[in-house]
A and B are shown apart, each in its own frame.
Chain A
Amino acid sequence: MSPLAGPTKGPPPIRNRIRELRFHAGEMTQAELAQRIGMTRQTIVAIEAGKYSPSLEAAFRIAVVFGVEIGEVFQWEG
């Protein structure tokens, strides 16, 4: 299937490395990350589990917290 095909049911085909990046950032907690980007801890849990795709702005905010490019946090797997 083309990577540009329309949305399908099920979790979004976006992989993320937030758990790994949190570990490298001195075991940053989900609550701490949530506070730094102005979100709830539950939303960070959902993003990490791949159940929720953040907006572009939120994705950039997460990348900025870890000091990496957005592509190093989120990868398209479709």
Chain B
Amino acid sequence: MSFREKHLWISIVASVGVWGWYFWFLIRHVMDGRLVNDHFTGDVSLAFMGCLVLVVAIEAVLTIIATLTTPKHEQKTRDEREIHAALKASHVALMALIGLVFCVSMGAYFSGLIDDNLVGGAAVFRVDGNLMVLVANILLACLVIAELIRAGVTLMLLRALR
């Protein structure tokens, strides 16, 4: 396995593990009805900062291990086949990200219409801080999914071209 492939696996494992737990934590909070709680933003922000530090630490440690188990020459080499696979995968991930963000936008817009504008009869959106934090986290989930798609498709292409 090349250094690039190892690094992609590290990225996938760290993202799935850490961000998987984070979004599970977030969903549990929302399902428990804590979205209206004053501590919601603080709790979620704390979890987010913790996960950010954790994902950086995990990636750093695993990258050091990958570096030690890869010949020096291959650590620096990033050849055309890898670049080719990375570009193709980035394109797929970008398309996925556009699709996800579009769906989130439409979802937010129509849920706003149904909730307040049309059904409620008011011509305004009523958005509180906690809801904004939730929307920000949904966008973060879109980024994490897009990044997982990029890493996964790159790995798939590298394995197909072997």
Contacts and interface: CB of A to CB of B under 8 A. Distances in A.
B81 interface: yes
A58 B80 CA distance: 9
B81 A46 contact: yes
A54 interface: yes
Contacts of A42: 2, 5, 81, 158, 162
Interface string B60-84: 0000000000010110010111100
Q: Pick the most buried of B2, B3, B81, B82: most chain A CB atoms within 10 A of its CB.
A: B81
A38 B79 contact: yes
Contacts of B5: 42
By size class, the interface of chain A is: 10 to 19
Given A52-B81, A54-B80, A40 B74 contact: yes
A73 B20 CA distance: 48
Interface residues of B, number: 16
Nearest to A39: B79
A55 interface: yes
B87 to A, nearest CB: 13
Contacts of B81: 39-40, 42-43, 46, 52
B127 interface: no
A46 B162 contact: yes
Nearest to A40: B2
Contacts of A49: 162
Interface string A38-78: 11111101100101101100100000000000000000000
B161 interface: yes
A1 B125 CA distance: 63
Given A40-B74, A46-B81, 4 more contacts: A39-B77, A40-B3, A43-B79, A51-B162
12 contacts: A31-B71, A35-B73, A38-B77, A39-B79, A39-B81, A40-B74, A40-B82, A42-B158, A43-B80, A46-B81, A46-B162, A52-B161
